[in-house]
Structure 1
Amino acid sequence: MAKVVIAEEAGACYGVERALRMVQEAVEKNEKVCTLGPLIHNPRVVDGLASRGVRVVSTPEEAAGSALVLRTHGVTPDEERRAREVCSKVIDATCPFVKKVHQAVERLAKDGYQVVIVGEAGHPEVVGTLAHAPQATVIASAKEAERLPHAHRMGVVVQTTQSIAVLRECVGALLARCDELHVVNTICEATSGHQGACAKLARQADVMVVIGGRNSANTTHLAEIARKLCPSTHHIEGADELSGPWFSGAKLIGVTAGASTPAAQINDVAAAIRAMVGEQA
């Protein structure tokens, strides 16, 4: 009989829980609520909010007259300004760790550093961060770092959901591209903790199940980490995607989840796996 183990650190982080609580409070006050972009990168949670009347909009103007929630990934200063001009209320659910990245790039730019953001170009968090230091450069790999022109002073920040391995590789490559390198490690504590716990469990597991949105950067990184250590790794968004044959012959099944995955979603998946393999919770 297989044993199902949930990683020591997994699931919704402080920033996500805080954002969901803010939306819940607004809905309970019977306010007309919109979010500027998906609140979090978890389609099932976003669908659940939609069923309660929370509408996703692309611009502040689409939410004119409504309460507008600024997503956890943050928005640009221009978007926030426009929101405060046209919306009845602005609820800032930007993750506090993301705000620290904004502050870091502003400080580095002010101090004369050529700012480099290690992250995924086009990701909402990176777009918002870039707006706080428009002259910054975004790189996603050491290969991209190696193509940068030489600079006297470089200042580096990193998308909060990036892996520490990617940051290390990029920093190693950037050392050869400048005379002075100032690195501000802005990977959030939850991301680091999730990744460490994931790796620890994946080393022992016969099968790993990673739960979270396929559009979630931190969940995708968890799946990458798990797959390197446990080839039989499956990234799913919900229990309905599980397949019994995945667990054939497995003695230990590991379960982890991204920072946008509520505990209820994790428990549903773990319970479904236990039912499939015959383990009692």
Structure 2
Amino acid sequence: MNVMVAEHIGFCFGVMRALNIAKKTKERTDKPVFTLGPLIHNPQAVHELEELGIHPINSLDEAPGGILIIRSHGVPPDVIEKAKEKGFEIVDATCPFVKRVQEYARKLCEEGYRVIVVGEENHPEVIGIIGHTGGKAEAMNKRRIPVIEDRDRIGMVAQTTQSIENLKLAISYVVERVKELKVYNTICNATYMRQQSTKLLAKEVDLMLVVGGKMSANTSRLVEIARNEGCETYHIETKEDIDPAWFSGKITVGVASGTSTPDWVIKDVVEYIKNL
């Protein structure tokens, strides 16, 4: 089986940074170390952290105290304040590019704009961004389209893992309805490069496997992009998810991954396919 791997693949800067922060934090302390939610959206990477003694919690009430690492997606400011009140030492592993979106959203809100975040309303990154506007910003996506009035002054940012196509759709929808629209293109460059390389690869292969956590927004976006190119595509987390029947009649298989997928998981998938 011929295997082609996307040009841009594996961990992005923000994910590597968050993992390094978590590991170094554990190395320097005997205190219990927690992350509020999974540090990144990849079960295999999170499991490795748990083996090191870094445990995810879903609520501040689940731990008596210790060190709390803020996930790469960020959190609303009030969450950090509540954690401090409970006695947690805070280590902030929020991706710097996510912090930039939070700052732009806050700035737009202070300037009097009605702030729209192009992204999934239930995604932790978007929840965090909205939190930095005091809850005033609104999420916008294909399922959730705000009512726009011509007197509105709209400020727009995007979840860092959104596709450029989704941002363009949001801009075109809003710009026809208002006289003032201020947009910050906050899609992460690493995300964009992975989307572009996935799109190009999907044009060249008979089958695409996109490797990454099922909860990973950027991985799901790659699946959507590959399928939009008309390529048969499957979203897998590890080689154990692969069905050999998928490869019947196929000559060339493409492999892409989200920004939170470990290299060793990608290598296992590639080797598995080559040995079919």
Q: Which residue of 2 aligns with 1:23?
A: 22
After superposition, residues 1-281 of structure 1 pair within 5 angstroms as 2-29=1-28, 30-133=30-133, 134-141=135-142, 144-145=145-146, 147-276=147-276
Query: How far has the Cα of 1:201 moved from its partner?
Result: 0.5
Contact 1:68 1:87 in 2 (8 A): no
What are the ranges of 5 or more consecutive residues in structure 2 without an aligned counterpart?
A: none
Work out the CA distance in 2 between the residues paired with 1:59 and 1:87: 14
The amino acid that maps onto 2:145 is: E
* Greater alpha carbon shift after TM alignment, 204-213 vs 42-51: 42-51
Please give the alpha-carbon distance, in whole angstroms, between the structure 2 residues aligned to 1:214 and 1:44: 11
* Percent identity of paired positions between Structure 1 and Structure 2: 42
* SS class of match (2:10): coil
Distance in 2, matches of 1:140 and 1:88, equals: 35
Deviation at 1:143, TM superposition (A): 7.1
Report the 3-state secondary structure (helix = DSSP H, G, I; strand = E; otherwise coil) of the residue aligned with 1:156: strand
CA contact (8 A) 2:119 2:140 kept: yes
TM-aligned CA deviation for residue 273 of structure 1: 0.9
Using a 3 Å threshold, how does the CA distance of structure 1 residues 129 and 73 change in structure 2: closer, same or farther? same
Q: In the alignment, is the contact (CA less than 8 A) between 2:202 and 2:231 conserved in 1? A: no
| Structure 1 residue 157: Cα displacement | 0.3
Q: Which sections of structure 1, spanning at least 5 residues, go unmatched?
A: 277-281
Superposition RMSD in Å: 1.6
CA distance in 2, matches of 1:235, 1:256: 10
Which is further off, 56-65 or 230-239? Answer: 56-65
Structure 2 counterpart of 1:48, one-letter code: E
Q: Which moved more, 1:93-102 or 1:53-62?
A: 53-62
Structure 1 residue 150: deviation in Å? 3.2
Quote how far apart the aligned CAs of 1:106 are: 1.0
Could you say what secondary structure the match of 1:10 adopts? coil
- 1:202: how far off? 0.5
Q: Distance in 1 between matches of 2:114 and 2:37?
A: 30
**Which residue identity lines up with residue 23 of structure 1 in the other structure?**
A
Q: CA deviation at 1:230?
A: 4.0
> Does the residue aligned with 1:254 lie in a helix, a strand or coil?
strand
Residue identity matched to 1:137: E
Matched letter for residue 11 of structure 2: A
Q: Detail structure 1 runs of 4+ shifted over 4 Å in the superposition.
A: none
Secondary structure of 2:176 counterpart: helix
